[in-house]
Structure 1
Amino acid sequence: MAISIYNDFSDYMVFKGIKNVLATDFKYKNVDSDITEELIIEQFGAIHDFHEKSLGFNGYLRNRLNNNTGKVIEDYKIYIKRLTGDINSIKTTQPKNSFEELVIEYGEGVIKRGEACIRAVYQTDYIGIITRSMRKTEICLGNTDFQNLQKNNFTYVVSFEDCSYNMVEMDCFILLSKLKRKGLELDFQRLAHEFCYIEGLDESSFEFLIALVSYPHEFMKCCNKYRETKNKVQEDRFSKKLLKALTKDGDSLF
């Protein structure tokens, strides 16, 4: 059997009926207040159409796709270990600035929340979800924002550069997590259920999504950036960002 060869995955998706357009061709919502649950559910329909058309890809790409299956969960586990190490180090040497004082004040609670999220992930049928994804050769768009993906008579995509082999749940997680961190008042439980219904996924996928969306992503990201920066005199800026991160992460959904 002949194997089709494509330069990029976008070529294959265009062949499958997805329209590759310029960002200037999009009429999308700019204001967060314009984003309603109904609009998000419509976006799930566009995501599902992409998933259906990309499912089972077995062609050859000159520019191959990454396999990101399980990567977010492994990264989140690493963030917990690193923050734990930071807290132990700060306690040993005593806080040197306001940022480190905040890490001591809030860090252990954040770690407990992160660990609870990871436990919740593994209490779902996580291995079964991974197995299903690999067996069906599921592919995620990665960038599921309204600025990159829309559906009218056709499904339109601006950029395919974040596409990867991954569990279809991750495209929903990426979208809902960003919206939650923006502080939008949405029923995330309902939205996760709607996505699973549209994609034909079971309760394990719903619980998996709720666990991941609850992870304290912003706090961990801020601590990672502080750890990597060499200019520690900017601690006031980092302190403000860390306090904002607590607000952005909001409450756990379970």
Structure 2
Amino acid sequence: MIAFFDRGDKMGKFELKSYLEEREIYILNEKVSKTIDKNWESIFTQIENIVLFQSKVNSYKENLLPRIGGSIGREINNYNSQIILLGRYLKEIENKSHLNLIDFYLIKNGEYLLNKGKKALNNLYSSNYRSLIERSMKNYEVCLGRVDENNLIVSRDNKIFIGTIKYLTYNIKEHDIYSYIKKIKRKDTNIDIEEIINFYVTKSNLEEDSKEYLRSLSAYPNEEFKIMERYILGKLNLKEEEIIESLYKARKMDSRCLLI
């Protein structure tokens, strides 16, 4: 979410709009109308669009973009919370006298899911993650948040058009590619996440640390963890059978994750 300061919303939005338009980035405030074709060519083209956006918006390191907030580490902290939550629930199941369908699902799959999540985050923390944070803060790096073809397009003359900047925040710039990876893995298509990461890192002239950051996050089974979190917190108003069906669908999506 955008974090506003206290100089008035209208003034802040105008400043941000002006800042972006100086860099030929235009806010439409509506869904971008474009036919989406999830083939390899279109995916690589969109990655190039993301790289272009990042180069334009981050090209003046001395300027602090007006009126947006920071989200560095927010999603990773949420993943840590999900792991703790699931770990506690698995221990509770051991002492339950009446088990439901989700409990039986977790008896079979819970430890595997938990270990997969832990391994992904351990790999992240053992990489040079801290240096990416320092670089991001030093350079005032910005993430759009929604970088799919329904929110970000580029014209032939390299002008950028954005549907909404609602999720624009200061963040490690690699995180926009992770957001895109999560988006496309929900589609029923064969994707090579490793190739996507390598293409982005090369196009952005980044180094091995960036690759490991993206590989680690892309190995985290976020779809299945998301459903389990909502179930444990009582936020799923579904029948047990429907939850099980959702978990298997999520597991299929997460099967497209990287293996590390």
Length-normalised TM-score, structure 2: 0.87
SS of residue in 1 equivalent to 2:153 = strand
Instruction: State the AA in 2 paired with 1:229.
Output: G
Instruction: String of CA shifts for 1:123-155, please: whole Å, max 9, x gaps.
Output: 221001111111111000000111000112211
Matches within 5 A, 1:5-154: 7-8=12-13, 9-21=16-28, 23=30, 26-29=33-36, 34-55=37-58, 56=61, 58-59=63-64, 61=66, 64-94=67-97, 96-152=99-155, 153=157, 154=159
CA distance in 2, matches of 1:15, 1:6: 17
Match of 2:165 among 156, 160, 166: 160
CA distance in 2, matches of 1:92, 1:184: 41
**Is residue 124–residue 205 contact of structure 1 (8 Å, CA) maintained in 2?**
no
Cα pair distance change 1:50/1:99, threshold 3 Å: same
**Is residue 45–residue 198 contact of structure 1 (8 Å, CA) maintained in 2?**
yes
Match of 2:181 among 173, 176, 179: 176
- 1:250, CA displacement in angstroms? 0.6
Cα pair distance change 1:6/1:195, threshold 3 Å: farther
CA distance in 2, matches of 1:12, 1:36: 34
Per mean C-alpha deviation after superposition, the further-off stretch among 233-242 and 202-211 is 233-242
Cα pair distance change 1:129/1:18, threshold 3 Å: same
SS of residue in 1 equivalent to 2:88 = helix
Instruction: State the AA in 2 paired with 1:84.
Output: G
**Is residue 6–residue 59 contact of structure 1 (8 Å, CA) maintained in 2?**
no
Give the gaps of 5 or more residues in structure 1: none
CA distance in 1, matches of 2:93, 2:63: 50
Match of 2:193 among 178, 188, 192: 188
What value does the CA root-mean-square deviation take over the aligned residues? 2.1
Partner of 2:204: 199
Instruction: State the AA in 1 paired with 2:244.
Output: S
Cα pair distance change 1:160/1:10, threshold 3 Å: farther
- 1:98, CA displacement in angstroms? 0.4
**Is residue 181–residue 250 contact of structure 1 (8 Å, CA) maintained in 2?**
no
SS of residue in 2 equivalent to 1:67 = coil
Task: Choose between structure 1 and 2: higher helix proportion.
Answer: 1
CA distance in 1, matches of 2:97, 2:39: 46
Per mean C-alpha deviation after superposition, the further-off stretch among 152-161 and 45-54 is 45-54
CA distance in 1, matches of 2:238, 2:47: 44
Instruction: String of CA shifts for 1:159-190, please: whole Å, max 9, x gaps.
Output: 01100000010000010122123242122111
Instruction: String of CA shifts for 1:197-225, please: whole Å, max 9, x gaps.
Output: 11111011112111101111111111111
Tell me the percent identity.
26
CA distance in 2, matches of 1:148, 1:231: 28
Cα pair distance change 1:230/1:139, threshold 3 Å: closer
**Is residue 32–residue 152 contact of structure 2 (8 Å, CA) maintained in 1?**
no
SS of residue in 1 equivalent to 2:95 = helix
CA distance in 2, matches of 1:82, 1:71: 17
Cα pair distance change 1:41/1:57, threshold 3 Å: farther
Cα pair distance change 1:229/1:216, threshold 3 Å: same
CA distance in 2, matches of 1:142, 1:57: 22
Instruction: String of CA shifts for 1:45-89, please: whole Å, max 9, x gaps.
Output: 22122212221373563xx31211111111111110000011111
